[in-house]
Amino acid sequence: MKEMTCRQLGGACDEIFRANSFDEMAALSKKHGVEMFEKSDMPHLDAMNKMRAMMHEAGAMEKWMEEKKALFDSLPEIQV
């Protein structure tokens, strides 16, 4: 089990997600993003706009995902 914050995953707050795999982590972050989007939370909307802008750049999104996955892999396992 590893921990990452919303901010570490390109978000805008310090909410902590715990997951066993990067895919699971990405799914939690995405779910949280949708919740924040529904609340019209400005910092998260800004973060999402930046992500969307990146998607127009060829390869940028893949590079970003790779970086986040490397970050996830480098984190220590936590005991729950």
Give contact residues for Zn ion (rule: CB under 5 A).
6, 11, 13, 15
Phi, psi of 18 (to 5 degrees): -120, 130
Smallest distance from Zn ion to CB 30, Å:
11
**Closer of 30 and 63 to Zn ion (Cβ):** 30
E-strand spans in 2-65?
A: 2-5, 16-19
CB of 58 to Zn ion, least distance (A): 28
Give the residue with the Cβ less far from Zn ion, 2 or 44: 44
Spatial separation of the C-alpha atoms in residues 35 and 44, rounded to whole Å: 10
